[in-house]
Chains A and B, each alone.
Chain A
Amino acid sequence: MQKVDYPVLAGPEGYLPPSAASMGVVLPDKGEALVEGKIVTEEEAMEVIADKLLSAKNPTFFPGPLILWAWNEKAVEKAKAVKELAEVVGAKIIPMPDYRPKYPMINYREEINPNHPNLTIWHNKIDTCVFVGVHCHYANVALKIIRGGTNCYTIALCGEYGHEDAMITLRDVQAREVRRLTEAIKRVKTEREDGR
């Protein structure tokens, strides 16, 4: 049954929270984004992302296989843009190199895994994270686990249609959009430094 006005907020929400889609949160159309379950414009979402990343104590990027491998020119270009973005934010980068669960224990200093993303977040005390270059199914699985069991604020920069279970999601994100976000963050950073 669909419901409305389901807020997608940082957790921990509980033992097994519902997927946001099942609670009536609908993915954005072109030019739109989601902030905490509500549709906003892409520009508005970029402003909120800038604020969240620059206010975070330990912002961390989780790049996935789609940009960790140089499998086509677009991937290389996007990876470079994401690296620059992380540097501008001053964020750490912890990769999600593949989707296999890591047993007996993940090396949380070096990687994150979609099946138990909470372990990397807990051990590194990550308060804000960015998913980028992760296949959508695995991003969705991980984002819901994070919302259920951690207090981490999640941001998903999706190359396709976005992710309802992230607190903020942009859609259709390629290198150009990453650079636009970088510019927005540079501007907000300068404004903050100037005390504006």
Chain B
Amino acid sequence: MAAVPLYTGTFGHAEAERLLWRAGFGPRRGQAARLASLGLDGAVRSLTHPPGERWVGPRPRDEKGRPLAPADAWGHDQLWWLDRMVRTSRPLVERMTLVWHDWFATSDAGVGSQKLMLAQNRLLRRYALGSFDRLLVSITANPAMLIWLSGTDNRKDAPNENYGRELMELFTLGEGNGYTERDVREQARALTGWTSTWKRGKGQTDFRFDTKRHDTGMKTVFGKKGDFSWRDSASMCVHHPKHAPFFVRKLWSYFIPEPPDAGTQAGLEALYRQGFEVRPVLEAILQHPALYSGPRMVKPPVVYIAGLLRGLNRGIDTSAWVWLSDGAGQRLFNPPNVAGWDDSRWLDTNAFRGRWYIANTALEKVTLGDRKGKKGPKVPNDPEAIVNGALAVLGNPTIRPETHRELLAFARASLKGATGWKAESYPPLVANAVRQLLAVSPDLQTS
């Protein structure tokens, strides 16, 4: 079996920091140093074999101090998940749940039930690092998915191709990659039989497989003949020869921005084919040289938010994150369509403004000189101390020297000639501004 290359360079603070951003939501205070001390192998294992969940930080609440009602209150589903990203001690599990949410992109805009969306979220988390084979079978029969891609409308006298098509195009093979339009129709027949009942006040409920709605006839899928069931439909996709290459390319793309070289691709496919387990593939990706010495990635908006809050040691205490996240282009449980979010288009001038207000809201509790009638802590009239203080507030992230110099130049220019009343009033203004600029800098938008 082709071996997947292993990163052998230094595994220090900067590498641990990048690993935490790619495989999670960025470091909490001191976490990068702790992870670095484990070495690469130990660090990756701590993520792929995490101990039981231990929540770190204050419990989530809305701006009135009330606990969240994720299944009922509007927007609280998003806050509930964002809180998990912020407080989790198992960041890779949570990050993989987000990967699956994008991979099997289901939107509450089509499902219309936070309860069913949360149930799907639990399913995605259960298989976060597990068997893709079993995840695929489970998601095929998942109520939110059955509504979203018309599974409950798919019956033998009126087949609906919606799920059968996306199953191959988006979930397992790639568009037109190893299947035909006839396979789409035949898969739709194999998938017939799911139904539900609509009840007033409950919506769609009682999801079940009804053999009377299932097409029991012979089908031909990928050139094979048989009386295929919905389970066969999913399973045949995973065993299709074009699936492993698709799976590896797609999973890789969530962690490393440039495609793997041929040897790496082959090695990862071989690992995956041993049993369609996600964990060994992930471990190889997270130890690959391209993750540490390759190019950076733009942080998705929710990763950016959760990371800022982790760095600031702040919990979820406002529902503003719902619209702030949307303003930057990502609402959890509401991907734009079944293809998920477009990771190549996170940033434009409006999204940048959205991120600006995310950063400003994240920093609001530590704003200097902003207490009504109270004097805040004194900020020294010292540009270097102000820039270093801003870095400390944000958890001492690694930034480019040029960025550091630019922030310093800003602080110097702003404080220059700040005499008289300005000598005392300006340092906190400048400190607030430096924090804000640091938080939205290209360095902190990417990892």
Partners in one complex: no
